[in-house]
Amino acid sequence: MQINQFQNSQLKEFYLKAKMDIELIETNILVNKEKYDGCESSSTEQGLLNQISTYAKETYNVEVTPDIAGMEGLVDKLKAGWGKIKEWFKSKDRKSKVSGHIDKTKKELQLYATEAWLNQMTFKNVGKAKFKLPEIFKEVNTPNGVKKIIESSLKQVQSEYQKQHQNSSARLSNGLKLFNQYDKIKIPDTLSQEVFDKYETELAKHFPIKPEKLKDTSIDEVVKMFNLSNEVAGELPVLNKEGVKEAVKVMCELCDIASGLESKTADLLSAGIDYDDRDGSDFWYRMHEKHSKYEKELFSAINWGEVTSSVVDIEIGFEKQVIKLLKFLEMWIWCSIK
């Protein structure tokens, strides 16, 4: 019989019983094989083996020889059945697999596309999936239709991110070059105004750092690119198995785009420097103490926090939209199942 032919209460009874029986056999017999292997027929040990053999036939309808090989075989069968039931309960859990961690979410969502999960589900196959959804999707028929609607938004956000990333990277590169040019210059602890003015005049020739910083793209601007805020009560065609696989593919593609932006931001962040680097530089620390406007401007181009500010908001705004899209597609899947 298939797992889905049993009631949940029956499966839970077997699940708990098998778990306890596995522990009993492993902790009492299999860890003491030498004690039970080849024991005399009248011994207490053989009596326990005989008892378990009879119990296995009565409880699980399994023929088990009253010896070590039989006990090992029984444990293997119980673990196999126990594992299948554990996966069954996991597959029936309708708790959303979408979290704020994109890479983890992608792995969790891939369960929906597995044959094991699909075969355990009972699909409606006809009718409508009724649930609350972003208004822009109220007339879509397939997950690929969703992808088509947001295609221009995906291109727009990736283009905006790339533009900001290139600008920040170029400013960082030129800024680090200037930082290193003066980094090893030794100046007195008590920097005179005359010497300070001399260096300030010299630094002025290198500013502003090129290219000039672009206006930041805000989280709200990214949200507006996707227009997912307005939700309505919708009715979409139910998904079949192939439709679910298509939905999972779209979800994974969205996760990959979000992960790609996150990775690029992390690379840019690691290339920037901390204020500890400035404080460890004799020249730049003294200029900082004297409130050099050029030191301040330089660090707006090379500090890891400053250099990533232009891309972090895009990344955060996009991730929020991806999570909304993933939850929408996941709900479509669940509303297609009985």
User: Cα dist. 192→195, 228, 291 in Å?
Assistant: 5, 59, 13
Q: At what angle do helices 293-302 and 304-334 cross, to 10 degrees?
A: 30
* pLDDT value at residue 4: 52
Q: Write the pLDDT tens digit of every residue in 41-50.
A: 778 888 888 8
Contact 283, 186 (CB under 8 A): yes
Query: Which pLDDT band holds residue 90 (cuts at 50, 70, 90)?
Result: low
Summarize pLDDT for 246-283 with one digit per residue, the tens: 999 999 999 999 999 999 999 999 999 888 888 888 88
pTM of the model: 0.71
Q: Which two tokens stand for residue 263?
A: 């990775």
Region 307-329: what's the mean pLDDT? 93
Confidence of residue 92 (pLDDT cuts 50, 70, 90): low
What is the C-alpha separation between 38 and 47, in angstroms, rounded?
Answer: 13
The values of phi and psi at residue 29, to 5°, are -115, -55
Q: Which helix or strand (DSSP H or E) is residue 79 part of?
A: helix 68-92
Cβ within 8 Å of residue 164, ≥6 positions away:
214, 216, 217, 310, 311, 314
Q: pLDDT tens digit string along 234-251?
A: 999 999 999 999 999 999
Count CB atoms within 10 A of the CB of residue 163: 15
Q: How far is CA 332 from CA 109, 248, 326, in A?
A: 13, 11, 10
